[in-house]
Amino acid sequence: MTEVFNYPGFWLMATVGAYLSGLTLYQRLGQPSYAPPVMTGFILITAALLATDTSYAEYRLSGDMISFFLGPVVVALAIPLYQHLHTMKRQLLRIFLAVTIGSATTVACAVLMTDYWIGIEAISNTMATKSITTPVAVALAEDMNAIPALAAAFVMITGIIGAMMIPALLKLTKMSDPQSTGMALGVCAHAVGTSRAAELGQEYAAYSAMAMTLTASLHAIILPWLL
Amino acid sequence: MLTGLFYLLIFLSLGELIRLSAGLPVPASIIGMIMLLIFITIKSRIPKSLAITATQITPLLPLFIIPVSAGLITQKELLAEYGWQLLIILTISLIPGVLVTALIMRMGKTHD
């Protein structure tokens, strides 16, 4: 009976099912940023692997079929980037500075804190990928002596904390105009931040999506040379 | 749907080809994205099939991430030992980044 757990089709089914459950829960709760479908799906799949005593190596036979599509999704980011570069040409320098300096600040803080507090190189390297959208973070982690699964978790947690904290923090410091808030969400909290920005309004969403894409591309190009 | 996916796979493979032949440390998908961006910019429009596929495939992102994140079960000891520190680092390190980003966006501008 338990041989079914060795059948790759079973884990494809289970992963799609876990995602759909996560999506349903997210929609039922009114799309709160603390319960993104990826987190629910992750919890369900991990629980299923532990319950059936299936090793991650076995699960990967099916998992890799699904996560392969992260590649095409990253390639497709060219489309929003093209659309936004077009509409925001006049502010290009300001946006470029905000993306580079803003993301360098948060990443440098995280990496330095990790070095000081934990002192394991692979974890510091993984920290460097925390503010970029998951498909890029995972691809990078694979290339640069970091831990892809940990990168996915850091990115997910950063996104959730950022989506909840950033609008409030900027309101507190009286810098909560749509452009600044959108940029901060995109630079520091990637896709989860961008979906939060979409709830706040169109201008927020446009800046956030652009910031997210620019941050991911810049990091993907620069980080491998630095570490 | 399939034509658009074909486009994406062409540029992904092109990205891998460039990465291998130039020995770049940058992921194939990012090189593919830049190539596609150049392609669209030269054409100065987005092929319709590509736009359709992108809007269909992008919302599925969480599904594609789940298998990778499930790899966390191989990191149990690490999380047991450093879980709290990692969570605090992730939270604290956001604050300066957010403030710097917002400050740059507002530099030299007048706001209401």
Q: Does A7 touch chain B (CB under 8 A)?
A: no
Do A225 and B25 lie within an 8 Å CB cutoff? yes
pLDDT band at A1 (very low <50, low <70, confident <90, very high): low
Of chain A residues 158-197, which have a CB less than 8 A from chain B? 158, 161-162, 165-166, 169-170, 173, 175, 177, 179-181, 183-184, 187-189, 191
Residue A55 has pLDDT above 60, yes or no: yes
Q: What is the pLDDT of residue B112?
A: 45
What's the one-letter identity of residue A211? A
Q: Could you report the per-residue pLDDT of B19-32, keeping only the tens digit for each?
A: 899 887 778 888 89
Residue of A nearest to B44 (CA): A82
Residue A209 has pLDDT above 50, yes or no: yes
Q: How far is A1 from chain B (nearest CA, A)?
A: 24
Q: What is the pLDDT of residue A19?
A: 94
Residue A53 has pLDDT above 80, yes or no: yes
Q: Could you report the per-residue pLDDT of A66-95, keeping only the tens digit for each?
A: 989 988 988 888 888 788 776 677 788 899
